[in-house]
Structure formats: structure tokens, C-alpha cells
Structure 1
């Protein structure tokens, strides 16, 4: 016989399972939250800007390379080699700079995810208390469970209510 206290009845009424173990899909939690959608949109927009910048630089470098190739027959070998080496160095510097920008975008996305989970923690802790759970496990790491233990949808709605997209509070805003 299982005795349910007042908290258990309340938890069941609002769709929160009464269970010792809850599960959550953190990837979906982040991706489907207002915070995660805002972050993804910002990263996507910045990635598009970077891609456009890369295409423009590629076109400029291609034009410069063709010009250098066209001038080669009229140049002394040593003079051409100096220009070719300078061009190669320029290409490498640009490539390193653009790669650094791409890495910074990835790091921004990773940092936003960490900030999101930090901001979501109080909401998840409240869900644990309300359900009487002692632990929340990553759903993808669980071999078998009842769908009733998954609180991802409820967590998303509560986190959205608590922190929204994070923009107003500056959580995970453009760094």
C-alpha cells in the first residue's frame, strides 16, 4: 500500500509524476526552450555573417591569386617567389583568423548551454521536490523507463516562465 501525501496529489494534478527517479532530455530541454531557441538563432545569424565573410575573402583571394599568376611570366623568379610567399602567408593568416571566429562561435554556444543549465537548476530542483524525486537522470542514459517519468516538457514550460529567453536578464546574451 502506497500512502500519498498532499504534495503527491498536487504533483499528479499538474502532470508531474510522483516518482523517486525522474528523467529529462537535456538536449531537447535546451533546444526547445526560449533560451535555447534565442541562442540558436543568434549563433545561426552570426554563422551566416561569418560564412558570407568567408565567401567574400575567398573571392578576393582568388582574384589576387589569378592576378599573381597572370603577372608571373613578366617577373623575375625571385620577385615572383617573394610575392607568392607573401600571398601564402596572407592566406594562412586569414584562415587562422576565420577559424578562430568559428571556434569562438562554438565556445559561445557551449557557454550559453552551461549558463542555461545553471539558470534552470532551481526550476529542476523544485520539480524534484514537488515530485518527491531524489534524482533526475539523463533520459538517453536510461536503458528502460516509463514515459511518465520524463519531465522534459514540464521543465521547458517552467524554465521558460522563470527565465524566458534569458535576454532580459542578460543570461547567455551575446558575449
Structure 2
């Protein structure tokens, strides 16, 4: 027996707030929590490294008067090179977090297609439009709440979803949301 058709969507179009769908779904919340924890850990690590570098710079500055100019220059250049390398490493870690967030969202969107198709069909619609692409609509055609409920029921926090091979490489790490948050 076909699902009951929602009279509000008889025009064949429903609207979905994809940002809200992601942010309010169990998967999106789990990913956000994991990324927040990783971001905070990176911030703490950056603070620790900054304190170490500040202490090292102060030590070099205090020792400068008693050093030969060539020896000081050599130590200062080595210190500067180390600082530049640390900056490159920090930037790479920040980019990896950004890639992780993007990969998680892509994984989410790939996993929810069939579920959104069911929501669309249950509403008797032939098209789902992203809310940002709609100039004017009534709230009756917005299926975001129904989509969140359906996606949560289908994929939960995403911990059971397979991780694509590309996302498993070191080049683009992907967070796997924690179990049942």
C-alpha cells in the first residue's frame, strides 16, 4: 500500500533546510562534538608549543650578551627555522580538521539519499529543494523535521556507516562519530 500523500506537497515540491538537517541530526551532532574535541586539543597543543617557544626565545635573548655574534646568529636562525616548521605543521593539522569536517558532511549526504527519497515520496513530492534556493514558500512544504527524524532512525549517529577508503588515508582523516551520544 503506498504511503499517505501529504496534501501540502501535492504540488510536487518540498523544501529542506540541509544545514539544519545536518546540525540537528544525531550524525551531525556526533561529528560536531568530535571535531570540537579535536579542535580544543589542537588549541591546547598550540598553547603548549607557544609557551615552549616563548621560553626558548627568552633564553636565547638572555644569553645573547655573552655569545659570539656568529654563534648567536646560528642559534637564532635555527630557532627561526624550527618556528617556521612548527607553523607549517600547525597549519597542516588545521587543514586536516577542515578536511575531516567536509568529509564527514559528504559521508552524511551520501548516506541520507535513500531516506530523503522516502520522505519525499511520503509527501507525494517529486522534488526536494534546498531552502536556500527558495525565494518564498509556506511552512507546510518544509520537510526538515520529518527528514531529521527519518535520518536519525535510519543512520543514527553514523557510527555504523562504512568509511570510504579515501577517507581512511592519512591525507584526509575522517572522524567516526562516537557511539550513541
What TM-score results when the alignment is normalised by the length of structure 1? 0.89
- CA distance, structure 2, for counterparts of residue 81 and residue 58 of structure 1: 21
Q: CA RMSD in A?
A: 1.9
Kept after mapping to 2: 8 A contact 1:11/1:130: yes
The match for 1:116 among 84, 105, 108 is 108
Q: How far apart are residue 104 of structure 1 and its match?
A: 0.4
CA distance in 1, matches of 2:147, 2:153: 10
Structure 2 CA distance for aligned equivalents of residues 83 and 11 of structure 1:
75
**Distance in structure 2 (CA, Å) of the matches to 1:79 and 1:66:** 16
The residue that corresponds to 1:3 in the other structure is: none
Which residues of 2 match residues 40-119 of structure 1 at below 5 A?
Answer: 40-119=32-111
**Separation in 1, partners of 2:130, 2:121:** 18
Counterpart for residue 174 of structure 1: 176
Which secondary structure does the structure 1 equivalent of 2:129 belong to?
A: strand
Q: Give runs of aligned pairs for residues 123-142 of structure 1, distance below 5 A.
A: 123-142=115-134
Residue 11 of structure 1 pairs with residue 5 of structure 2: yes
**C-alpha separation between the residues in 2 aligned to 1:11 and 1:133?**
9
CA drift at 1:170: 4.5
Contact 1:24 / 1:138 at 8 angstroms: preserved in 2?
yes
Gapped runs of 5+ residues in structure 1?
1-5
What residue in structure 2 maps to residue 31 of structure 1? Answer: 23
1:71-128 per-residue CA deviation (whole Å, 9 max, x = no partner) reads 1111111111110010011011111101111110110010000110111100111122
Which deviates more from structure 2 when the two are superposed, residues 141-150 or residues 54-63?
141-150
Q: How high is the TM-score relative to the length of structure 2?
A: 0.86
Between Structure 1 and Structure 2, how many residues are aligned?
Answer: 167
What are the ranges of 5 or more consecutive residues in structure 2 without an aligned counterpart?
164-173
Indicate how the Cα distance of structure 1 residues 89 and 173 shifts in structure 2: closer, same or farther if over 3 A, else same.
closer
Tell me the residue number matched to 2:170: none
